[in-house]
């Protein structure tokens, strides 16, 4: 499958027998597929079908799905509450006579609560099922559009991640060939360290000094870190050829990259390797941020 992002937005409109609606679907990062719905009262029963529909298109991501629904005026039964109107007219007339004010206007009465009643038509099971099917068809279009947007964002993410992995590979090779790893450089550094130890304690045992030198040399050796970084670079490139969702694997791989960069920095005994290690950490931090968006 193509590398896809977990972020995106889509909308879809629809209508059915006087009903008009508007779907919105927003997707952000998530550890798994989490679908949250905001539905009008009475349509909560659609949630299971909405989750099933989302699972056809997505494997990971936090989805927020909202539905706005309205019924056209022509489809509703608009009635005037005659008893309430008569009572209000009587009250208004008494006040008019007492205060000498002009007669009450119709638009004033129509704006009062309870004067106009809008009765929604009673739906049969068959009509409700047809309505729900129409709603879900338009939601399916919204999810399809959202999947397209996530795929487009995924292609942009892939380009960024490929560049970052390539940069990690370049820095790893710089570390491999750094002059600070040359045997003569390491030997000179160890001689200097031993000289300082002798000055600090002239009575130190020569065998102990030799052991300390061997330990210092082993601690400064970054070959294992370089080998692991090379292996992780290959693994990252291989992931792009996978037919599965790769977001979780890339997240784990980014953590492994970071572990090796930290160790390399701790072992670096020269400015050049320290610079390479710090730049590695910077690139890996950017990589970790980007892979959080991958499905």
Range picked from 58-67, 104-113, 263-272 for highest mean pLDDT: 58-67
Average pLDDT, rounded, for the chain: 86
- CATH 3.30.230 maps onto the chain at 8-73+123-150
Where is pLDDT greater, at 20 or 196?
Answer: 20
| Residue the block writes with tokens 């020569």 | 206
Neighbours of 109 (CB within 10 A): 16
Residue 99 has pLDDT above 70, yes or no: yes
Residue 119 has pLDDT above 70, yes or no: no
Q: Please state the rounded mean pLDDT for residues 29-48.
A: 94
CA distance 69 to 139: 13
Q: What is the pTM of this model?
A: 0.70
Q: What percent of the chain has pLDDT over 70?
A: 82
Neighbours of 13 (CB within 10 A): 12
Q: Please state the rounded mean pLDDT for residues 185-208.
A: 64
Report which DSSP code applies to 253: H
- CATH 1.20.140 maps onto the chain at 155-291
Cβ-contact 16, 72 below 8 angstroms: no
Q: Please state the rounded mean pLDDT for residues 125-130.
A: 89
If phi over 0 gives left and psi between -120 and 50 gives alpha, with beta otherwise, what is residue 18?
left
Q: Please state the rounded mean pLDDT for residues 287-291.
A: 94
| Res 135: pLDDT | 97
Where is pLDDT greater, at 23 or 3?
Answer: 23
| Domain 8-73+123-150: CATH architecture, name and number where available | 2-Layer Sandwich (3.30)
Class assignment of domain 155-291?
Answer: mainly alpha
CA distance 253 to 165: 11
Cβ-contact 49, 28 below 8 angstroms: no
Q: Please state the rounded mean pLDDT for residues 44-62.
A: 96
């Amino acid at each position: 499958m193509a590398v896809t992002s977990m972020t995106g937005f889509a909308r879809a409109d629809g209508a059915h027998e006087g009903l008009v609606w508007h779907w919105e679907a927003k997707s952000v990062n998530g550890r798994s597929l989490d679908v949250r719905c905001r539905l009008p009262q009475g349509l909560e029963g659609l949630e299971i079908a909405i989750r099933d529909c989302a699972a056809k298109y997505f494997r990971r991501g936090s989805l927020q799905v909202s539905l706005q629904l309205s019924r056209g005026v022509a489809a509703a039964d608009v009635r005037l509450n005659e008893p309430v109107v008569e009572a209000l007219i009587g009250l208004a007339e008494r006040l008019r006579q007492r205060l000498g004010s002009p007669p009450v206007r119709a638009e004033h009465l129509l704006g009062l609560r309870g004067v106009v009643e809008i009765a929604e038509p009673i739906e049969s099971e068959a009509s409700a099922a047809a309505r729900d099917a129409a709603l879900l068809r338009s939601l399916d279009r919204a999810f399809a559009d959202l999947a397209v947007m996530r795929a487009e964002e995924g292609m942009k993410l892939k380009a960024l991640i490929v560049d970052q992995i390539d940069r990690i590979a370049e820095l790893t090779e710089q570390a491999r060939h750094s002059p600070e790893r040359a045997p003569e450089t390491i030997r000179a550094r160890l001689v200097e360290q031993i000289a300082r130890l002798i000055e600090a304690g002239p009575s130190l045992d020569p065998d102990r000094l030799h052991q300390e030198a061997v330990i210092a040399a082993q601690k400064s050796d970054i070959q294992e870190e370089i080998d692991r970084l090379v292996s992780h670079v290959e693994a990252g490139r291989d992931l792009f050829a996978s037919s599965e969702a790769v977001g979780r694997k890339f997240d784990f791989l980014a953590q492994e990259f970071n572990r090796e960069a930290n160790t390399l920095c701790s072992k670096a005994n020269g400015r050049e390797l320290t610079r390479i290690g710090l730049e590695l950490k910077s690139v890996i931090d950017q990589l970790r941020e980007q892979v959080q968006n991958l499905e």
